[in-house]
Amino acid sequence: MPPLDHILIVNAVLFAIGAMGVLTRRNAVLILLSVELMLNAVSLNMVAFAVYGHVDFGNITGIIFAFFIIVIAAAEVALALGIVVRTFRNRATANVDEVNLLKW
């Protein structure tokens, strides 16, 4: 098994890459992909803590959390893509900086 801090550092890098995608992309679907990368990093972290700690602490809650995160991410993707498709139909763009109806 790799040491816990190696896994945590790899996940931190993955999280930062996802954050970079969220902050630099302008296509809504690509921003969503980057958010999924960040969610993956977090659930991988939770699984790592659960696997390294369940002998000492006697529970595997982190694994259950990762399971719920994956399920909720599926719901989130479906809903967000529905919104993106609707936005594209109404405003003919999928770029978040061109959807500025509430900005003045």
Partner 1 sequence: MEDGVTATQVVFWILAVVMLVSAIGVVTAGNIVYAALFFIASLAGVAGIYLILTVEFIALVQLLIYGSAVVILILFALMLTRARERPQALFGRSRPLGIAASLGLLAALIGGIVATTWTTPESSSAIQPVGLQAIGDAIFTIWIVPFIIVGVLLSIALDGAIMLASPDEDDN
Q: Using the rule CB under 8 A, is 99 a contact of partner 1?
A: no
- Helix 61-91 to helix 28-57 angle, to the nearest 10 degrees? 170
Which CB atom, from 29 or from 102, has the smaller least distance to partner 1?
A: 29
Q: How far is the CB of 104 from partner 1 (least distance, A)?
A: 19
d(Cα 51, Cα 47) in Å, to the nearest integer? Answer: 6
Closest CA relative to residue 27, chosen from 76, 84, 82, 83 = 84
3 binds partner 1 (CB under 8 A): yes
Rg of the chain taking only CA atoms, in angstroms = 17
Nearest to partner 1 of 58, 104 (CB atom): 58
Query: Could you tell me the smallest distance in angstroms from the CB atom of residue 50 to partner 1?
Result: 7
The helix-helix angle for 4-24 and 28-57 (nearest 10°) equals: 160
Among positions 33-62, residues that touch partner 1 (CB under 8 A) are 33-34, 36-37, 40, 43-44, 47-48, 50-52, 54-56, 59-61
Query: Which residue of 35, 42, 82, 103 would you call a contact of partner 1, by CB under 8 A?
Result: 82
Show the tokens assigned to 5: 């801090």
Size of residue set near partner 1 by CB under 8 A: 77
